[in-house]
Amino acid sequence: MARDQDVQLVGFWTSPFVMRPRIALNIKSVHYEFIQETFGSKSPLLLQSNPALKKIPVLIHAGKPIAESSIIVEYIDDFWPSAPYDRALARFWGSVVDEKFYEPMKASMGAEGEVKKGLINQGVEAIGLLEEAFGTLSRGKAFFGGDHIGFVDIAFGSFLGWIRVAEISNGMKLMDAGKTPGLDGWSQRFSAHHAVKDLLPDTAKLLEFSNVVSAKLKENQLFEDHVVNYI
């Protein structure tokens, strides 16, 4: 097991992408130092560690930085190996989460009217795909990864806090026992898992943060550069 000083993670509490490696590290029982960025600025450590993209999260292991949440989770799984699973299929569904669910839902924050409605509908459609995928990938067990949290669980589960915010903001349920029974049960098990429960952000605080970001996005599209991976 790595020593505390060997592993650092640069991130911010609201970011679902930062939550991904934090969950993965918890599952592997890896001790790490969480270095929190200041919203609206980029620290010298972040700029030095990820000069190409200048965004969180960044894992620093033994002085060597690794960027991008999915790559970091793969690295954690490779360096601290566990029982193997179908990696190619899991990574495919992880990309579905990011492209079909996250992208339209994020875009909806700065949108209004029919445009906003259309983007949210795209997110709802993606959730329907993930409901079907859960039935296939879980093979009737607790998680996408079977008996244990896997890559897809981390990829989608990191958004649960923001899903709750979206439900409150838009006055609609994105997941419930009636429409998505598989994901509804999964979300409860995932949220209660020892590697996850202390990382989920407080819904009220996240909603407050979301309202600030939404207002700024509507006022100034240039602001989007400052919120990359914070939402």
Strands of 64-67's sheet in order across: 33-36, 7-11, 58-61, 64-67
**In tens digits, what is the pLDDT along the chain, a chain of 231 residues?**
444 458 999 999 999 999 999 999 999 989 999 999 999 889 999 999 999 999 999 999 999 999 999 999 999 988 876 555 567 788 899 999 999 999 999 888 878 899 999 999 999 999 999 999 999 999 999 999 999 999 999 999 999 999 999 999 999 999 999 999 999 999 999 999 999 999 999 999 999 999 888 887 777 655 555 665 677
What is 7-76's CATH number, 3.40.30.10, 2.40.50.100, 3.40.50.300, 2.40.110.10?
3.40.30.10
Classified as helix, coil or strand, 65 is: strand
Model's pTM, two decimal places? 0.84
Q: Identify the sign of the CA torsion 31, 199, 94, 49.
A: negative
Give the chain's length.
231
Question: 48 exposed, middle or buried (CB, 10 Å; 0-12, 13-18, 19+)?
Answer: exposed
Question: 184 exposed, middle or buried (CB, 10 Å; 0-12, 13-18, 19+)?
Answer: middle
User: How large is the C-alpha radius of gyration of the chain?
Assistant: 17
Indicate the domain borders of the chain: 7-76, 84-203
The answer to whether 19 and 199 have CB atoms below 8 angstroms apart is: yes
Mention the CATH class of domain 84-203. mainly alpha
The answer to whether 180 and 128 have CB atoms below 8 angstroms apart is: yes
